[in-house]
């Protein structure tokens, strides 16, 4: 399964609790798309977030965010662990 890192650049009012709630909604809908969100990293001071996700495609990962909460990633990169 490909591994992707999705990047959010301009989040506002992105406190850790609200982000955790949004990530929980990802978990609730991800199975429908064959996706597994693994970990995420947040910089609440600048509104940047990075989500590591296993997905059959970028489009599948996109659809999970769209259905779960609508906060779409600005960029999605296929990555390999170094």
Partner 1 sequence: MTQERAATHLRSVAIAVTDYEKQVDFYENLWGLKKTESETGISYFAAEGSPEQYIIRVRKSDVNRIDLLSFGIRDPESVDSLANSLAEDGVRFASEPGSLKTPGGGYGFRFFDPDGRVVELSADVAERGFRVLEPREDIPQKLSHVVIYSEDPRSVMDFYQDKLGFKLSGWLGDFFGFLRCTPDFHSVAIVKGEPRLHHISFETRGYDEYLRAVGRVLQEGLPMAYGIGKHTPADSTFAYFIDPNGNTQEYVAPQEMIIDDAEYSPPVWGPGTPNDIWGTARSQNMPEDPTIARHTERDQGLWVAPPV
Residues contributing to the site for partner 1 (CB under 8 A): 8-15, 17-19, 22, 47, 58-59, 62-63, 66, 69-71, 74-76
- For residues 27 and 36, what is the distance between their CA atoms, to the nearest angstrom? 7
Residue 6 tokens read as: 């999705």
| Least distance to partner 1, CB of residue 73, Å | 9
- Smallest gap from Cβ 28 to partner 1, in A, equals 15
Give the integer Cα–Cα distance in Å for 55 and 68.
Answer: 15
Closer to partner 1 by Cβ: residue 15 or 31: 15
By C-beta, is 38 or 74 nearer to partner 1? 74
| Residue recorded with tokens 């982000």 | 19
Residue among 10 and 80 whose Cβ is closer to partner 1: 10
For 7, 13, 57, the CA distances from 50, given in Å and listed in that order, are 5, 16, 17
């Amino acid at each position: 399964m490909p591994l992707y890192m999705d990047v959010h650049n301009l989040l506002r009012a992105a406190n850790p609790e609200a982000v955790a709630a949004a990530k929980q909604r990802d978990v609730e809908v991800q199975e429908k798309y064959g996706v597994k969100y693994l970990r995420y990293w947040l910089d609440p001071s600048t509104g940047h977030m990075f989500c590591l996700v296993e997905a059959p495609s970028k489009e599948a990962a996109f659809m999970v965010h769209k259905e779960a909460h609508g906060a779409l990633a600005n960029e999605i990169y296929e990555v390999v662990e170094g």
